A and B are shown apart, each in its own frame.
Chain A
Amino acid sequence: MESDSKRKKECSSSPESTRQSFPDEVLERVLALLTSHKDRSSVSLVCKDWYHAERWSRTRVFIGNCYSVSPEILVRRFPNIRSVTLKGKPRFSDFNLVPHDWGADIHAWLVAFADKYPLLEELRLKRMTISDESLEFLALKFPNFKVLSLLSCDGFSTDGLAAIATHCKILWSEVKNLTELDIHENGVEDRSGNWLSCFPESFASLEVLNFANFGNNEVNFDALERIVSRCKSLKVLKVNKSISLEQLQRLLARAPQLVELGTGAFMQELTPRQCAELESAFNNCKNIHTLSGLWEASALYLPVLYSACSNLTFLNLSYAPLQSVELAKLLVHCPRLQRLWVLDTVEDKGLEAVGSNCPLLEELRVFPADPFDEEIIHGVTEAGFLAVSFGCKRLHYVLYFCRQMTNAAVATIVQNCPDFTHFRLCIMNPGQPDYLTNEPMDEAFGAVVKTCTKIQRLSVSGLLTDLTFEYIGKYAKNLEVLSVAFAGSSDWGMQCVLGGCTKLRKLEIRDCPFGNVALLSGLEKYESMRSLWMSACNVTMSGCRRLASEMPRLNVEVMKEEGSDDSHADKVYVYRTVAGPRRDAPPSVLTL
């Protein structure tokens, strides 16, 4: 075949090929077994033959920053890709810090894929923009397409989804069907609730259907019910708030095989008979290990869930404002829980119940129910976190929003749980000190990095001086991602991090007193990182220009705000790239 002869030509032109100890095909078969991206990258660096063998055998590619490489470069290097994962905007775009038209549009990629990867099966996007036209293009051009996952993406409406659903008709005739439609947490414009009814009557292959964050937009329930009935392989069903308890019961009755369930709104006036039916439906679902949704869950109906919780490993209650007693009662039924997401309405008492009932817990996330309400002080405190750390020795991932914390508590917490890999603490009032001693929170994070040698991801908050960053630079040798806000005293802090954290990949900073000296101290470093974000710091345009001129393989992008000083670089985004400066930047983004 053409590709084979082409490949042989490439190999025979290199001097190493004569010394090859086994044929390419064998090498490729071996390399095909490699799945980890890191391993594959390492393999490709061994020698030219291995580089070529690796690139021909690779079928899945992960691109952490869509601008680090261009579609042309990608398709040229890897001819046989079936699965693409792309991430676009910087993470702070989740919090409205990035202009809406910033970029990360998928279309140019789809055009390249249609040409070179017609057999593409999977597309997973995070923080990318995808239009309805692109969705239709995707539906029409890729007959083998199976898996679409959109996480925190924008730019499309239900019209685009209807296009995906509709063109399954064509796909069906070749027995190549969509198995996964995962549209999680997006700003999806609802043009009509009818996109679900666009799936043809014969469509029965869906394994994953997730439209949990479609807001309150109604969907065509009949169509949904029929899909659920037909798709016997459906494993994951996550519906949005518009689905009532009564409707949920009907869906569950048709899908007892579900492994992951996201309910709709969990409050409704039910008759005792309806309640019993719902409880019975849950009772029949013996395979559920992930449960989410539960919007506005009222204490009255939580008990219907109990029988389905015995195998539960992930419980997402972050949309259910439960009180401590309700949570405690529920957790008694969830002894195998490994991951728990809750709202801070459960308060410290609720977290005590977590500590008592969930010995296998590995991950805890506590979200604020009223993040912007300054008048009322409630939620969780250091006491709750402590209680969990005493009871859950396997804890290694925490995201904790609170309004008060102490250095001593954090020190105890990490003594109890030294295996933290992800420690994300958000003391919501910026620059707030230890509320008991009035000292900075430096020692807290010092304790974290000294005790938790495996720490990979850290988010710091509270009143912090450069000492925190000295600790991080000195001890956090495995740190890959660091988020900093309203912290530090001088450039030295950032310099410590850049100099000490050898494995650092992503650094995101906002509202800190770090300036050009700090920025430029990382000159050598940024090429080994995915990206750097700095906003509302003391960096100037001339500092950014100097960085851009000294490091041609970095893109240095500046977003200026209205009314700011000409010399001030309000938002800076620096990332390594082999694709050169991007050509699709909007006027608000300056590439230096």
Chain B
Amino acid sequence: MSPANLNESSDSDVGSLNFEETKLTLGLPGVECRGTAAESGGKSGVKRGFSNTIDLNLRSSSSGGDKRCGGENDVLGSAKPPAAKTQMVGWPPVRASRKNVMRSCKYVKVAVDGAPYLRKVDLEMYNSYQQLLGALEDMFSCFTIRNYLNERRIMDQVNGVEYVATYEDKDGDWMLVGDVPWKMFVEICKRLRLMKSSEAIGLEFILQEHLPRTQVQVEEEDICEGVTVAVQRLLVSFNLVPLV
């Protein structure tokens, strides 16, 4: 995903946040101009505002509505803006030898529905799914992990919202975390997404409406678990990519 795509989708998202969260799109999640999440939201707004000064000015008034974005544009009049979107020569001032310090290994992006920014985890640091999910819980510390070893589900105790850990594999399919052996998972996982269970259910109903009944397979399992798992399998079998 190039920065260009990122900017387009998020600029149109700014004015209508809640709706966008549940809508199926192919854009990247989370990186929006939000006033509340002070650090990341303000920062991402600022960052984009700076490097795309011209773009934001031409686009919707919704970006001006965010104090940080708008303020950023005003105050910047004096300093010299760098070339938009292109990497500046010699900035940040980091020597060439320091540019590739990250291990040539398995850092994958983790997106959590509802969080304003992504994180990255190094899958090679963990030896099991349990360790990974524990680390994710630490990272997005508003969630606590439920002790269901078979479910790969994470629960937000504050809001009572359940999350399902999913991942995109090498073929670009979205899979439920936990089916394959850990080492294979590390090998094939390209990115992670903690998806709201409720959203998974919502999607299932959308699908049911648009597809002939014979093609919908819902397993006869416990309502909570089964729906989640089944929806995952539906998504996979219909090659639908959820909001990431």
The residues of A with any CB-CB pair to B shorter than 8 Å are 92, 94-97, 152, 185, 187, 213, 267, 295-296, 298-299, 318-321, 323, 343, 367-372, 374-378, 381, 401, 403-404, 426, 428-433, 435-436, 438, 440, 463-465, 483, 485-490, 510-513, 536
Contact = CB atoms under 8 A, between A and B. Distances in A.
B3 interface: yes
Contacts of A486: 79-80, 82
Interface string B26-49: 001001000000111011101100
A429 B46 contact: yes
Contacts of B91: 95, 430, 485
Contact of A404 (B43, B50, B89, B120): B43
Contacts of B109: 376
Contacts of A296: 103-105
A375 B82 contact: no
Q: Would you call the interface of chain A mostly helix, strand, loop, or mixed?
A: loop
B94 A368 contact: yes
Interface of B: 1, 3, 6, 28, 31, 38-40, 42-44, 46-47, 50, 67-68, 71-72, 75-76, 78-82, 87-99, 101-105, 109, 117-120, 122, 124-125
Contact of A438 (B75, B80, B125): B75
A428 B80 contact: no
B89 A97 contact: yes
Contacts of B104: 296
In order of increasing CB-CB distance, the 3 nearest A-B pairs are: A95-B90, A489-B78, A438-B71
Contact of B120 (A92, A96, A320, A376): A376
Nearest to A428: B92
B50 A96 contact: no
A488 B79 contact: yes
Given A377-B40, A436-B38, A323 B125 contact: yes
B92 A368 contact: yes
Nearest to A483: B93
Q: Which of A320, A464, A511 has the most CB of B within 10 A?
A: A511
Given A376-B118, A377-B43, A381-B39, A185 B95 contact: yes
A536 B75 CA distance: 20
Contacts of B103: 267, 296, 321
A426 B94 CA distance: 10
B57 to A, nearest CB: 16
A485 to B, nearest CB: 7
Given A378-B119, A401-B92, A438-B67, A431 B99 contact: no
A345 to B, nearest CB: 8
B56 to A, nearest CB: 14
Contact of B82 (A343, A430, A436): A430
B125 A299 contact: yes
Contacts of B97: 185, 213
Contacts of B94: 95, 367-368, 371, 401
B68 A438 contact: yes
Nearest to A465: B78
Contact of B87 (A372, A432, A488, A512): A372
Nearest to B82: A430
A240 B79 CA distance: 42
A96 B89 contact: yes
B108 to A, nearest CB: 11
B9 to A, nearest CB: 13
Contact of B39 (A94, A97, A369, A404): A404
Contact of A371 (B31, B99, B119): B99
A1 B81 CA distance: 66
A487 B79 contact: yes
A369 B76 CA distance: 27
A489 B80 CA distance: 9
Contact of A435 (B42, B89, B93, B119): B42
Contacts of B90: 92, 95-97, 510
B128 to A, nearest CB: 15
B81 A431 contact: yes
Nearest to B103: A296
B92 A431 contact: no
A369 B99 CA distance: 7
Contact of A321 (B67, B78, B102): B102
B119 A376 contact: yes
Nearest to A95: B90
A265 to B, nearest CB: 10
A432 B47 contact: yes
B81 A94 contact: no
A539 to B, nearest CB: 13
Nearest to A426: B92
Contacts of A465: 78
A376 B139 CA distance: 14
B117 A377 contact: yes
Contact of A375 (B42, B78, B98, B118): B118
A499 B78 CA distance: 22
Q: Which of B6, B42, B68 has the most CB of A within 10 A?
A: B42
Nearest to A343: B101
A370 B71 contact: no
Contacts of B1: 375
Nearest to B77: A489
A376 B102 CA distance: 14
A342 B159 CA distance: 37
Given A435-B43, A438-B72, A440-B75, A321 B101 contact: yes
A367 B98 CA distance: 8
Contacts of A401: 92, 94
A43 B38 CA distance: 58
Contacts of A318: 98, 101
A48 B28 CA distance: 74
